[in-house]
A and B are shown apart, each in its own frame.
Chain A
Amino acid sequence: MSLTHLGSLMRGVRSVDQVGVEERAAALAKRSIKKASKLWALDLAIRCIDLTTLEGADTPGKVTALCAKGVRPQPGDASIPSVAAICVYPSLVATAVAHLRGSGVRVASVATAFPSGQSFTSIKVAETREALAAGADEIDMVIDRGAFLSGDYQRVYDEIGSVKEACGSTPLKVILETGELGTYDNVRRASILAMAAGADFIKTSTGKITPAATLPVSVVMMECIRDFSRETGKQIGFKPAGGIRTSKQAIAYLVVLYETLGPDWMTPERFRLGASSLLNDILMQIQKERSGAYQGADYFSVD
């Protein structure tokens, strides 16, 4: 896209009213999801989880354990589905691939100098290619927030484009790191920029910054996806990540998803939850819903 086109696209982005969007999110969070609908939502939540470990201390052993957990979250209970993907650093992609072969669980790799994104475009593209070569099924990239906040939308746009080009048909999730963008107007602008540049998913956060995913930010991003779908016919996915630890939170995201984007998005193809500790809380809630009693934490494997 040329400079002038991109400029007019960004100028044409509608504003967001902060009070209004926060009220809307709070209202949706009050939906009461019980019994059968709760079990349905929790099942979907598991199927949409990108089970994540992104630590400097990650080792093949840690990733191997996480893969086992992701494939069979509750050993001995076949009714519990696998998660959507295991999300790791590029250097651990090969380990994850080896342990997930044939399981249906995908391997997602962060790339592009995650989490800060402060590196050279050539290195970011090269990192993406390496992750793909190692067998990653999906790429989670970060945008260059420095460039975005300085108004250099073209650089952000071009960089997403280059990474998408390296990905080819591999799904690309673009992390906006909304906790660093400061305003909902910026979230909206960055969402549209990322989708126009070729994102298959837009994702809230790296999980390394507070605040990470919030419900109002998710409302804004989903409204952008809805507008983009109406104008282009393309159905872009959404991934909130970071800080989602409880079933109640996960259900709130699904409610917002359902009432903003509708049933077409209630699938791991268009919705993911980036999380780690969430999974066990969901398992615990499912047990409780089925048996009427809570089970102790020791009855669920840590990973």
Chain B
Amino acid sequence: MAIAKRPSTEMRERRFEYAAAPEATDHLKIADSYSLFIGGRFVEPHSRRRFATVNPATGQTLSEVAEADDADVDRAVTAAADAFRSWSRLSGAKRARHIFRLSRLMQERARELAVLETMDGGKPIKESRDVDVPLAAAHFFYYAGWADKLEWAFPNRRPRPLGVAGQVIPWNFPLLMLAWKIAPALAAGNTVVLKPAETTPLSALAFADICQQADLPPGVVNILTGAGSTGASLVGHPDVRKVAFTGSTEVGKEIQRATAGSGKHLTLELGGKAANIVFEDAPLDQAIEGIVNGIYFNQGHVCCAGSRLLVQESILEPLLAKLKSRLGTLRVGDPLDKNTDVGAINSRAQLEKIEGLVNSGIEEGAEIYQPACDLPERGYWFRPTIFTNVAQSYRIAREEIFGPVLSVLTFRTPDEAVEKANNTPYGLSAGVWTDKGSRILWLAERMRAGVVWANTFNRFDPTSPFGGYKESGFGREGGLHGLAAYVELD
């Protein structure tokens, strides 16, 4: 006869199952359909066309947004040009007051913006809550501070605004990229027409609502939703004096071709294939966190992601062992769950691109590692992935994957690390992990990359310029450098 025993201390379960901790969404109001934000009002699109925006974690349609055509672009640019006349003559202090108000409202509505960003884009709520939204508000605060100090920012060079800025932003950090674009433009006295990405328009539309709430003069900020053709039309509009684009290198090249000879100012922030270099004397446990943050942050949908890990050969074995076991603790799943570390892939198209490149890595002979983790049945997902035995010539070591896929390569000497790290058409960012300060400086001097992080990765601050070399684009965003892109100087 079996005797039921009281569970002894030893018998108790040792596995710590975190109960679901979903962020509430009941406070959020998403309309069934959205119009275009032109001249301070939401107006019906001339095109009469709308397209759906989908929650990539569930596959469900969240809303329908307008698709702006050439006539809509013309209306918006005209509204911005009209607004420019008064906005550019407003005193810096008054412009600052408006921009400060925008940032305060973003902070007040932070929770709503974070939930919206996560539902529309698939990124974990802990990232939109702790990174995207606070940084976006910080950018507005920072540039608001410059608005009445332009004369001191560029002494003796008579800074003047350029006019209407046409801005096209990507889907990986929708609200943050909006802030990087709009904040310096407004501070310098320009007006803007911004086109958010096709798959993530909702936070920009919420920002349009904030502009109304803040009583920003009509036409200073205009938001046009749409796809590639809307962006092309905006970039090509003759009254746009400045074009700022963040996105793929391929589209960046098209924009450069389209704007060539037009006299338009242009900044491009494009792709990357960053090297994250770990020397044998690195603080290993923190380097592991940096590697994880470098490539799995935002599912690897980060232009400056540390997608090529360069490890000194002498520590490859312990580093890989630690990295693989760390991958086992990453929580992949519902982006709205506060404990989720890796969320959903932004779109089906992106998922297919990642899968294609991962298959090429397997075919070329790299060794793949993925932790065992359950993925939700609906939506778009990809397991955190590590490739070892990767040669410099493989596609996964050369092409931007823009997904949670890390390629591990080795080096023997610092010179070899520099040579391999720079051996890419891109040059956006790099990371170095070592306990030796002199080596950090030595390496940073030799890296052809716009940002070099030392013993950390993927850290951003409004005061720090960000931008690339080579096929990663040109121009800088953030800091004084970012302001310079929106002024004419003597």
Q: How far is the CB of B118 from chain A (nearest CB, A)?
A: 15
Which of A33, A43, A259, A264 is the one whose CB lies under 8 Å from B14? A264
Q: Does A14 contact B (CB under 8 A)?
A: yes
If over half of A's interface residues share one DSSP class (helix, strand or loop), that class is named, otherwise mixed; here it is helix
Cβ-defined contact, B19 with A33, below 8 A: yes
Contact A47 B9 (CB under 8 A): yes
Binding stretch for chain B, among A2-10, A20-28, A51-59:
A20-28
For the complex, is A183 an interface residue (Cβ under 8 Å from B)? no
Query: Does A32 belong to the interface (CB within 8 Å)?
Result: yes
**Is there a chain B Cβ closer than 8 Å to A286's Cβ?**
no
Asked if B21 and A32 sit within 8 Å, CB to CB, the answer is yes
A33-B14 Cα distance, complex, nearest whole Å: 16
Name A35's contact: one of B15, B19, B284, B290 (CB within 8 Å): B19
Is B91 on the interface with A (CB-CB < 8 A)? no
Q: Does A223 contact B (CB under 8 A)?
A: yes
Is A254 interfacial (CB 8 A cutoff)?
Answer: yes
Whether the Cβ atoms of A266 and B14 lie closer than 8 Å is yes
**Min CB–CB distance A257 → chain B (angstroms):** 9
B442 at the interface (CB under 8 A from A): no
Number of chain A residues close to chain B: CB under 8 A: 35
Q: Is B414 positioned at the interface, with any CB of A under 8 Å from its CB?
A: no
Q: How far in angstroms is the closest Cβ of chain B from A41?
A: 7
Contact partner of B16 (CB less than 8 A), chosen from A15, A47, A266, is A266
Q: Find out whether the CB atom of A21 lies under 8 angstroms from the CB atom of B285.
A: yes
On whether the beta carbons of B126 and A30 are closer than 8 Å, the reply is yes
Is B456 located at the chain interface by the 8 A CB criterion? yes
Query: How far, in whole Å, are A38 and B16 apart by their CA atoms in the complex?
Result: 10
Q: Which residue of B lies closest to A41 (CB)?
A: B16
CA of A255 to CA of B331, assembled, Å: 13
Q: Of A16, A40, A267, which one neighbours B283 at CB under 8 angstroms?
A: A16
Known contacts A17-B283, A21-B285; A263/B18 CB under 8 A: no
Q: Which residues of B contact A31 (CB under 8 A)?
A: 18, 338-339
What separation, in Å, do the CA atoms of A79 and B214 have in the docked complex?
A: 55
Does A20 contact B19, Cβ atoms closer than 8 Å? no
Question: Within the complex, which residue of B10, B14, B21, B285 is in contact with A223, where a contact is CB–CB below 8 Å?
Answer: B285
A119 to chain B, nearest CB (A): 35
Nearest-Cβ distance from residue B327 to partner chain A, whole angstroms: 12
B289 interfacial by beta-carbon distance below 8 Å = yes
Give Cα A218 to B126, complex, Å.
23
A24 touches B9 (CB 8 A): no
Which of B13, B126, B329 has a CB less than 8 Å from the CB of A259? Answer: B329
A71 to B287, CA, bound (A): 44
Inter-chain contacts of A43 with B (CB < 8 A): 12
Cα separation A193 to B281 with both chains bound (whole Å): 20
B435 adjacent to chain A (CB < 8 Å): yes
Tell me, yes or no, whether A101 is within 8 Å of chain B by CB.
Answer: no
Q: Is the CB of A24 within 8 A of B286?
A: yes
Q: What chain A residues lie within 8 Å of B329 (beta carbons)? A: 259
Interface string of B448-466 (1 = CB under 8 A from A): 0000000110000000000
Q: Give which listed residue, A14, A34, A41, A267, contacts B10 with CB less than 8 A.
A: A267
Q: A15-B435, A264-B14, A266-B14 are in contact. Are A36 and B19 (CB under 8 A)?
A: yes
Cross-chain contact of A19 among B21, B321, B456 (Cβ < 8 A): B456
Query: B198-216 CB contact bits vs A (8 Å, 1 = yes)?
Result: 0000000000000000000
Instruction: Report yes or no: B14 in contact with A20, Cβ–Cβ below 8 A.
Output: no
Residue contacts A-B, CB under 8 angstroms, 20 given = A14-B285, A15-B281, A15-B283, A17-B283, A17-B287, A19-B286, A30-B130, A32-B21, A33-B21, A34-B20, A37-B18, A38-B19, A40-B13, A40-B17, A44-B12, A81-B9, A254-B16, A259-B329, A266-B16, A267-B9
* Additional 19 contacts, C-beta under 8 A, given A30-B130, A267-B9: A14-B284, A14-B285, A15-B283, A15-B435, A16-B285, A20-B283, A20-B455, A20-B456, A21-B285, A30-B126, A32-B339, A34-B20, A35-B19, A41-B16, A254-B16, A255-B16, A263-B14, A263-B15, A266-B14
